[in-house]
Amino acid sequence: MHYDSISIEEEYYDLKIRLMLIGDSNVGKTSIIKRYCNNQFSPSYISTVGIDFETKYLRLNGKIINLQIWDTAGQERYKVLAKNYYKNSDGFIIVYDITDKKSFNNVANWITQIKDSASENVKCVLLGNKCDLEELRQVDINQGKDLANNYQLKFYETSAQKGNNIQKVFTDLVKGFLNDDNFVNDSERSSISTEQRNLRRARNQKKKCC
Ligand code: GTP
* Predicted confidence pLDDT, tens digits, the chain (210 residues): 344 445 444 567 889 999 999 999 999 999 999 999 999 999 998 888 888 899 999 999 888 999 999 999 878 777 777 888 899 999 999 999 999 999 999 999 999 999 999 998 899 999 999 999 999 999 999 999 999 999 999 999 999 999 999 999 999 999 999 999 888 765 456 665 556 656 666 666 655 554
| 172/156 Cα distance (integer angstroms) | 11
Mutate to test the pocket of ligand 1, among 21, 30, 70 (most ligand atoms within 8 A of CB): 30
CA 176 to chain centre: 12
Greatest Cα pair distance in the chain: 63
- Domain with 14, as residue range(s), is 3-209
Return the pLDDT at 159.
98
Helix spans in the chain (H) = 29-38, 79-86, 101-105, 107-117, 141-150, 166-178, 181-184, 194-209
CATH number, residue 17: 3.40.50.300
Overall number of domains in the chain? 1
Tell which atom from ligand 1 comes closest to the C-alpha of 43.
20
Helix (H) or strand (E) holding 91: strand 91-97
CA 84 to chain centre: 18
| 151/140 Cα distance (integer angstroms) | 18
Going by the DSSP 8-state scheme, the letter that residue 6 receives in this structure is -
CA 62 to chain centre: 20
Going by the DSSP 8-state scheme, the letter that residue 89 receives in this structure is -
Taking the model in full, what pTM does it have? 0.88
CA 24 to chain centre: 16
Ligand 1 neighbours (beta carbon < 6 A) = 25-31, 42-45, 47-48, 73-75, 129-130, 132-133, 159-161
**Cα(209) to centroid(ligand 1), Å:** 47
Tell which atom from ligand 1 comes closest to the C-alpha of 44.
18
Return the pLDDT at 187.
46
DSSP reduced 3-state for 59: strand
Mutate to test the pocket of ligand 1, among 24, 30, 31 (most ligand atoms within 8 A of CB): 31
| 189/140 Cα distance (integer angstroms) | 39
Return the pLDDT at 210.
47
Identity (one letter) of the amino acid at 153?
Answer: L
CA count, 13 A, side-chain hemisphere, 188: 2
DSSP reduced 3-state for 30: helix
Return the pLDDT at 196.
61
Helices 79-86 and 107-117 pack at an angle, to 10 degrees, of 50
